Amino acid sequence: MTDQTAAGSPAGSPTPGPRRRVVRPASPARPDDGHKGSFGRVLAIAGGRGMSGAAALCGYGALRGGAGLVWLAIPESISSIVATIEPSWLTVPLPEDCAGRLSMDSQGALEQALEGKDAVAAGPGWGQSDELRQLAHWLYQSVSCPLVVDADFLNLLAGADDVLSHPGGPRILTPHPGEFARLMNCSITTVEAARETLSRQFTDRYPVTLLLKGPATVVTDQQSQYINDTGNSGMGTGGCGDVLTGLIAALVGQHMSPFEAAAFGAWLHGTAGDRAAAALSRQGLIASDLARFLPAAWQEAERTE
């Protein structure tokens, strides 16, 4: 296959438009007279049979990200598992297929669960199926509040140019290089060689905020670009991205713009990873440690603002 440098366009496509480089955004306001209804209602649509941890890690990211209320919409077969992991979130059991993945039968329940939410996170632990593809495309084009898209949801969008071009509301996509290569229809090597340029090409084409994970995480929308300088190789372990997905949803649910939420979320997530590595070692770091060290990362943000 011929390598390509932009979704649906061959190598040698026009140079992407310039972006304004920005510094880390300030943390969201936390007024003293606030309450749980003030700080965002977040719904995470996550998990599958054998992937209850993905849903839990996403939920922890949202809780430790400061969300006032967090719901986890999950396949019904893992509902009791997820509910017992943490008493601070609510669960929404959903219909599933024979493999324990969300099915299109869950659309009606999701329509109800989406009512009144300030932000949605979706994708961690999903798996892939034809019904999940339909569900992903429906969510992408129907959800009016900010939607943070990760993991298998991203893979289900690959090649869906018309869906990507017509989001139902603000969208934040958080791929790692492999997922981004599938979205761009190119090789991972090509992505790693031109992370900033390809990020700008993607956001020139689609109306989204893009967070491309990896060392020096790149956050880009159609006007601005932020390069993150926190994080370490200890975060190269399963589940860390699930925490980030929930964290960004919590931030955008607290009235940060999608770009600000992605940029500040990348910094906060990386800072939690740095604190965890300093205390536990890079080798011994696991994804749930990021949630444990997010409070320390918040304190560091407050000290440096």
**Segment 209-235, tens digit of pLDDT:** 999 999 999 999 999 999 999 999 999
Interhelix angle 258-280/240-253, nearest 10 degrees: 140
Cα torsion 261, 244, 153, 209 to 10°: value is 20
Q: Rounded mean pLDDT of 260-278?
A: 98
What's the longest Cα–Cα distance across the chain?
Answer: 58
In angstroms, the CA 252 to CA 240 distance is 19
Determine the pLDDT at residue 13.
Answer: 59
Q: How confident is the model at residue 14 (pLDDT cuts 50, 70, 90)?
A: low
Catalogue all structural domains in the chain, each as residue range(s) with its CATH number: 35-303 (3.40.1190.20)
Residues 48-72: tens digit of each pLDDT: 999 999 999 999 999 999 999 999 9
SS3 state at 88? coil
Q: For residue 12, is pLDDT > 70?
A: no
Interhelix angle 52-64/287-303, nearest 10 degrees: 10
Q: For residue 287, is pLDDT > 80?
A: yes
Q: Considering Cα of 75, then 158, then 193, then 178, what sign does the dihedral take?
A: positive
State which amino acid sits at residue 276.
Answer: A
Q: For residue 9, is pLDDT > 50?
A: no
Query: What letter does residue 174 receive in the DSSP assignment?
Result: -
Q: For residue 1, is pLDDT > 80?
A: no
Q: What is the mean pLDDT of the chain?
A: 95
Determine the pLDDT at residue 10.
Answer: 34
**Residue 150's closest CA among 264, 228, 44?**
44
Would you say 265 and 248 are in contact if contact means Cβ atoms under 8 Å apart?
yes
Would you say 213 and 32 are in contact if contact means Cβ atoms under 8 Å apart?
no
From the CA atom positions of the chain, what is the Rg in Å?
A: 18
Return the residue matching tokens 């900033």.
196
Percent of all residues in the chain with a pLDDT value above 90, rounded to a whole number: 95
Q: For residue 173, is pLDDT > 60?
A: yes
Q: Rounded mean pLDDT of 138-158?
A: 98
